[in-house]
Every structure is written in C-alpha cells, then in structure tokens.
Amino acid sequence: MIRIYDSGYRGDCRAERMEQIDCISWLKHNYPDRWPLIFHVPNETHGKGNHHLIREKEGVKAGPPDIIDLGRVTGLFELKRRDRTKSKIGKEQRDFLQAGVNAGHFAAIAYGFEQFKVAYADYLQFIHNNS
C-alpha cells in the first residue's frame, strides 16, 4: 500500500520546492549515516524540440518520487505541498510508487515537510520490522 501522510491542513502554503529543500536539509543533518544513499531525481525538466525524447532514451522517465533512500529497504517519498488540494499526483507517480510497494519497498506521499518527517520515521520502523 502507498502510505498517505496528510495533516488535514487547508490554506496558504509554500511551494513544493521549498518543502523539499527543508526535507533534504533535515535528512542531511539528522541522518548523516544514511545521507550517502539519499537523493532526488530531477525528472521534471523543460526543454525544446526533441529534448524530452533524448532524455527518455537516456533513461529519464516520468514517475520517480522526489526523495529516494536506498537503504536495505528502499524508501520512496513523493513530496507535495502542505495543502493536499493544491497538489496533484500523476498517474506515472502513482504507478511508480505502487511498483515500489509491489517490490517490497516503502512508498509514501507526504503533504509538506512535517508530514515527511512522520513518513520517514515510519520508514525507519518499516526497515526495523523487515530486517
């Protein structure tokens, strides 16, 4: 199952990029032992002409989540804005997360930085329970 982390907050909120910067900074500071295998896949690009076709041939595809932790069990975290109504989950994103679940990985959609921290704590517990 893809886990959903939503505080229920509705209202003004920061852009997803700002939430992600906080998540990455928090991970780097609080989990230096895990940090070497945590990364973001920059798959959302703008380009002209056949740029996207070339990127696709290079292996870039729609769907990978914002934050990936390649621990013993992979953690896949799609990050969205704090207010769930201001973000959409694409089919490719949902399919990628579900493929991760099907392979035994942890997959989550987190609405905002605070919910990401809850999701990450659950991920660490998931690793512990599956060791």
Give pLDDT, residue 63: 86
The total number of structural domains in the chain stands at 1
CATH code, domain with 57: 3.40.1350.10
The amino acid present at 2, given as its one-letter code, is: I
Give pLDDT, residue 51: 77
Q: Give the domain range for residue 18.
A: 3-129
Q: Are 69 and 75 in contact (CB under 8 A)?
A: yes
Q: Please list, in sequence order, all residues whose beta carbon lies within 8 angstroms of the beta carbon of residue 59, skipping any fewer than 6 positions away.
A: none
Give pLDDT, residue 80: 97
Give the residues of the chain that fall short of pLDDT 50: none
Give pLDDT, residue 39: 94
Give pLDDT, residue 60: 78
Give pLDDT, residue 46: 65
The amino acid present at 70, given as its one-letter code, is: L
Report pTM. Answer: 0.91
DSSP reduced 3-state for 59: coil
| Spatial distance between the Cα atoms of 62 and 97, rounded to a whole number of angstroms | 12
